[in-house]
Amino acid sequence: MGVPREDLLLMTRALKRGFADYKAIRKALDRQVSKPISLLEALHLPAAEAESLRTDTTIPDAVADRPLLDSLQKTLFDVEAVTPAEWERFLGSFARHTARHYGPLPVPQEFDGYTLQWELARRERGVVYRAKDKDGRDVAVKVFRKEVAVTGDLPRVDGHAYAVSEFA
Q: What is the pLDDT of residue 95?
A: 61
78 and 37, same domain (yes or no): yes
Among candidate residues 153, 145, 104, 101, the one with its CA nearest the CA of residue 126: 145
27 and 84, same domain (yes or no): yes
Q: Of the candidates 68, 96, 124, which is a domain's last residue?
A: 96
Q: Tally the domains of the chain.
A: 2
Q: Is the pLDDT of residue 162 over 70?
A: yes
pLDDT tens-digit profile of 61-110?
A: 877 888 999 999 999 998 888 988 888 888 887 765 554 566 778 889 99
68 and 123, same domain (yes or no): no
> Has residue 101 been placed in a domain?
no
> Has residue 68 been placed in a domain?
yes
CATH code where residue 146 lies: 3.30.200.20
> What integer best gives the mean pLDDT of the chain?
88
CA atoms of 158 and 122, how far apart (whole Å) = 18
Distance of CA 32 to the CA centre of its chain: 26
Query: Is the pTM value of this prediction over 0.75?
Result: no
79 and 162, same domain (yes or no): no
66 and 148, same domain (yes or no): no
Number of H helices, E strands in the chain: 6, 6
Q: Of the candidates 65, 96, 127, which is a domain's last residue?
A: 96
Longest dimension (CA), the chain: 63
Domain limits at 125? 110-166
Q: In what order do the strands lie in the sheet with 138-144?
A: 110-111, 114-122, 126-132, 138-144, 160-166, 156-157
pLDDT-derived band at 131, boundaries 50, 70, 90: very high
Report the chain's C-alpha Rg in angstroms. Answer: 22
Strand pairing report for 126-132 and 114-122 = antiparallel
Residue 33, phi then psi, degrees to nearest 5: -70, -40
Q: What is the pLDDT of residue 104?
A: 77
